[in-house]
């Protein structure tokens, strides 16, 4: 099996496993997924908000809030799981597309020399 085939299989498995971040915190009553805390939730967990989070927390707003699409949050956990997988596939496609584009741009510069 080619290395690129193994890579695509691995990325597919990871994309399919993304909803685990929804189920495990609910199963263990752990709140939200690890590392996805906002400033308010961080304050509740540790009693304060780190300066960097307070300063830069509102700098980035995700294109799909909570990895979901508008109107899907009330459809139940199954639809939210599908939204996680779709978000993962979109993220993988975007990263691969940008890497290929960057590779082509850099290889054209190399061939001119």
pLDDT tens digit string along 46-81?
899 988 888 887 787 766 666 666 766 666 656 677
Please report the pLDDT score of residue 24 as a whole number.
79
Distance, in Å, from the CA atom of 7 to the CA atom of 46, rounded to the nearest integer, reads: 38
The average confidence (pLDDT) of the chain is 80
Please report the pLDDT score of residue 73 as a whole number.
63
Distance, in Å, from the CA atom of 65 to the CA atom of 38, rounded to the nearest integer, reads: 12
Task: Give the sign of the dihedral formed by CA 107, CA 111, CA 112, CA 113.
Answer: positive
Question: How long a stretch of residues is the chain?
Answer: 113
Does pTM surpass 0.85?
A: no
Which pLDDT band, with edges at 50, 70 and 90, does 98 fall under?
A: very high
Which pLDDT band, with edges at 50, 70 and 90, does 5 fall under?
A: very high
Mean pLDDT value of segment 9-29: 83
- Sorted by sequence, the CB contacts under 8 Å of residue 11 that are 6+ apart come out as 92
């Amino acid at each position: 099996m080619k290395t690129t085939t193994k890579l695509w299989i691995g990325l597919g498995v990871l994309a399919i496993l993304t909803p685990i971040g929804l189920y495990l915190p609910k199963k263990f009553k752990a709140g939200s997924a690890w590392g996805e805390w906002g400033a308010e939730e961080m304050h509740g967990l540790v009693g304060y908000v780190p300066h960097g989070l307070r300063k830069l927390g509102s700098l980035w707003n995700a294109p799909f809030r909570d990895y979901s699409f508008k109107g899907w949050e009330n459809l139940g956990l199954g639809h939210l799981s599908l939204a996680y997988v779709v978000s993962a596939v979109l993220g993988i496609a975007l990263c691969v597309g940008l890497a290929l584009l960057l590779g082509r741009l850099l290889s054209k510069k190399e061939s001119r020399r």
